[in-house]
Structure 1
C-alpha cells in the first residue's frame, strides 16, 4: 500500500519553502496548499470547543475554520459547507478535524496525500506530532545570511535584524534537536542551494524518503504556482519562474557590513557546520552583541512560557488529539477500514 502520511515543509522564513511546496504539489499524489492560519490556533484553543467526540463540538470548530476570516480557509478553494459535514461525520479528535480540511483540499485534486507548509512549524514539530503522529517533516535549510537579507525586504516583516538572525538560529537549533531524536523516515533535511543547483537529483532523494516515485513535473514548480500561491503574495513572484540560483549568495550585496558581521559572529558555527563559508567579517561591537543576546533571550522566554502553559493544558485534554485519517493511524486505533467520513469513526 502506498503511503498516505501527511507531509510538513518547515524551515526559516524566506528559505525557499514555497518553492519546495510547489515542487511537492506538482507530484501526482501529493497536494500542498497555500499557507493557512488555523492549525496552530485550533490546537492552542482546543479547550474552547470541548469534547470533539461530540458532533456539535466538531461542527463548531469546523465552522470557525471555514468561516473566520483569519484562518485563510478560503485560499484552499474547498467548499466550506461540505467540509463542515465531513468533519461532523468524521473521527472525534482534534487532529481529525484539522486534517479533514487538508484532505478535502487533496481530494479536490484527486490526490491521495496532503501536506502543509509553514516555516514556523520547525519550532512546533512536537505539537504537530501530537496531532499527526505519522507525519513526515522536510526541513529546507538556506544560508542564514540570505534568509536574513530576504526577511529585511519583506513588507510583512516588521522586526529588526536581530530578530531575523535569531529566527534562523532557532530554526537550525530545533532542526538539529529533531534530527537527533526522530526516526530516519520522519525527518529529512536538504539545502536550498543544493535543491536549486540539482533539482532532479535532490527531488529523487526526497522521494525515496517520502516512499514515492519521482515525477519530472516536480522540477518545474512554476506550473503549480498559479493554483497554489495566492495572487496577493507578490513576494513569492520568483515561484512563477524556472528554478534558478540567482539569489544564492546575494547577501553580500543586500546586507550592510555590520549585519554581515553580526550574522557570521552569531551564526558562524551553525553556518560552517552546514557547509557555508564565512567571509571573515570583523567582529561586531560589544553593544551590538548585547542587543542580539537580549533579543534572543526575550524570544526564548516567550516561547518557554507558551510551552509551559501547553504542558499544563495537556494534563486536562478535553478530547483525543491524534488524527485518525491515515491507514497507519486507523490500524493502530483498530478502526475498521472504511471511509474516514463514516459515522462509525465517531
Structure 2
C-alpha cells in the first residue's frame, strides 16, 4: 500500500460551464499538482454508494462501465463532440459492446500517454486493498496516483459538482473546496450549446412526453409515436445537425442555474469558511496571475511557483460576454431567471 504524508482533500466544484475545466487544466501544468478531472462525475451514480468496501468491491466501483458512456459512444460515432470524453474515439469504439471503464473515458487520459497501462496498474493496486471506509479507499487511490505520476498535491474537479458538496463533505469532513462560479446569463448560453447539458435538457423533454430519456441507456429504442422532426435526436437515427439545431429556451436554464447556486451555497455554508474559496470565472480572465496565485496559496502555500504562474496565466484567453447580444425580450426573461442566483453570488464579493 502507498503511504505518504496526508494532505487535506481538495475539491473544485461548480455548476459546470464556469471555468473549472480551464482551472483544472492549468493546475495540471503545475509540477507538483495532480488535478484529477471528472473522477466523481465519471463514477456517478455509484461513487458514494458504500460506506465500507474492500479492494475488489472498490475496483468494481471504479471500473464498472456506465451506461451513459456507452450511449455517448453511439452518438460520438455519428459525429457528436463531447470534450469531456478524453479517451481517443478511434480506440474507444472497441468498447461498443462491453462499455468503457469510466476512468478511461474521462479521468486518466489527460494524465499520461498510456492511460490503459495506468488503468491496469491502478487496478492491481486497488484490488489488493483491505476493507476500509470509502473515503480512505479514495485517499489511497489519490495518493497512489500522486506517487506514480510524480506529483505532491492532488485535487479533484468534476463538472456540475456543486450538488456533490454534501457527500464530499460527509465522506471527507476536513476537505477544502474551491467554488468556481460565473455570471448565470453566460452559463445559460454556454450550457445551451454544450452537448452533455443539451442531452440532459432534451432527455427531460422526452421523459415528459414519452416517459423515458434517450441518452441514458445504449439499449434505448425510439417510441412509435415519435414526431418525424425528433427522429434525429434518438441514438438509432441520430443526426448531429438536428441535435444542435433544436431550439432550447434560455429561461428554464437560468432558473435551474439559480436553483443550483442557491442549494450549492447552502451546502458550502455548512463548511467552515476558512475551508472554502470562492473564485469568479470573470476574475480569472481579467487577472489570471493574481487569481491563480490566490488559488494555489489556498490549496497549499508551498505551491507558489513563479514559472508555473507565468506559463498558466499566459494560457488564459479573454471570453467577452455574449448574453447582451440576445434579443431584448429573451434577454429580459433570462435576466429575471438568473436574478436570484446572481444576488446570492453578489454577496460573496
Residues in 2 aligned to 1:39 and 1:219: alpha-carbon distance in whole angstroms: 34
Task: Measure how far apart 1:23 and its partner are.
Answer: 2.4
**Offset of 1:101 from its aligned partner?**
4.1
- Distance of 2:145 and 2:255 partners within structure 1: 34
1:151 equivalent to 2:151? Answer: no
Rounded to whole Å, the distance in 2 between the matches of 1:188 and 1:211 is: 13
Out of 1, 24, 31, which is 2:34 matched to? 31
Q: Does 1:87 align with 2:126?
A: yes
Partner residue in 2 for 1:267: 338
The equivalent position to 1:18 in structure 2, one of 18, 21, 26, is 21
Q: Which residue of 2 aligns with 1:257?
A: 328
Structure-2 separation of matches of 1:211 and 1:149: 34
Q: Which of 120, 136, 139 is equivalent to 2:176?
A: 136
Describe the shift of the 1:181–1:52 C-alpha distance in structure 2 as closer, same or farther (beyond 3 A). Answer: closer
Rate the CA distance shift 1:219–1:61 in 2: closer, same or farther, 3 A: same
Structural mapping, 1:159-308, within 5 Å: 159=201, 160=248, 161-212=250-301, 213-216=303-306, 217-221=308-312, 242-245=315-318, 247-253=319-325, 255-272=326-343, 274-275=345-346
The offset of 1:57, in angstroms, is: 3.1
Shift in Å at residue 219 of structure 1? 4.9
> Partners of 2:59 and 2:17 in 1: how far apart?
35
Aligned to 1:237: none
Moved over 4 A (4+): 65-68
Q: Distance in 2 between matches of 1:206 and 1:45?
A: 31
What's the Cα RMSD here?
Answer: 3.1
Higher alpha-carbon deviation: 67-76 or 102-111:
67-76
Gaps of 5+ in 1: 223-240, 277-346
Deviation at 1:139, TM superposition (A): 0.7
Cα distance, 1:22 vs. partner?
1.7
Question: Which residue of 2 is the match for residue 69 of structure 1?
Answer: 100
Shift of 1:157: 2.7
Larger RCO, structure (CA 8 Å, separation 6 or more): 1
Residues 1:152 and 1:2: Cα distance change in structure 2 (over 3 Å): same
How many angstroms apart in 2 are the aligned matches of 1:211 and 1:141?
21
